[in-house]
Amino acid sequence: MSTEVNTLWVVADSSGSMGEASKLYILRNLINYIRERLHLSNNNLPFNKICVITWNEKVKHVKIDFQNKLPAFKVSGKADVEKLTQYFDKIPQNNKVKSRLLILSDWQLEKERKNIFINWAKKQNNYSIRVIPIEIGISASKIIKMSSKNYFHPQDISKALSPWEVNTG
């Protein structure tokens, strides 16, 4: 039996704009789905562990387990792109295989901030990145226009998780 740990990193945007409408509730449901599916013995997922971090002016690890209710996500401040990229740059990597990184965010960032993230993502040898935009009323066709490969509609979370092959870094 393989004991290799394959982690899915989940970034939960908890900046102030995530407090609008039902964004936070959607974020919570997506994390809940990942947790419930991962708990199945035959889950058909390419990872066997999840690490959830909240992202606003700080980047914090959140403990998620199957036995307990999901924690309440509190929103405040702005999403700091530099803090996020620094957090992931600091994580020691096994460079043989990229880690999977799933971002759940409404992307309410200034253009300059978005570009910093995009440039960081493009240069990534350590992470394979996928995004689920949490924008109320966003259509599947709009998401396909963004990028059919890396962006997924919230209702298509199962497609975002599997298949998800990662290349050698």
155 binds another protein, rule: CB under 8 A: yes
User: Which region among 7-15, 22-30, 49-57, 119-127 touches another protein (by CB under 8 A)?
Assistant: 22-30
Buried b (16+ CB within 10 A) or exposed e, 39-75: eeeeeebebeebbbbbbbeebeeeebeeeeeeeebeb
Question: Is residue 26 within the footprint of another protein (CB under 8 A)?
Answer: yes
Q: Measured from the CB atom, is 33 or 164 closer to another protein? A: 33
d(CA 82, CA 61): 17
Instruction: Kindly tell me which residue out of 20, 33, 62, 107 binds another protein, with binding defined by CB under 8 A.
Output: 33
Measured from the CB atom, the residue of 37 and 58 that comes closer to another protein is 37
Comparing CB distances to another protein, the nearer of 65 and 112 is: 65
Contact region with another protein (CB under 8 A), list: 3-11, 77-85, 96-104, 155-163: 155-163
If binding means CB under 8 A, how many residues of this protein chain bind another protein? Answer: 23
> Is residue 144 at the binding interface for another protein, with CB under 8 A as the rule?
no
Closer of 23 and 98 to another protein (Cβ): 23
Tokens 């901030």 locate to: 113
CA distances in angstroms from 12 to 1, 102, 121, 145, listed in the order given: 32, 9, 17, 23
Residue 28 Cα distances to 12, 69, 107, 112, 154, angstroms: 9, 11, 17, 28, 11
CB neighbours of residue 93 within 10 Å: 14
Tokens of 161: 């998780």
Task: Point out which residues bind another protein (CB under 8 A).
Answer: 21-22, 25-26, 29-30, 32-33, 35-37, 39-44, 136-137, 154-155, 157-158
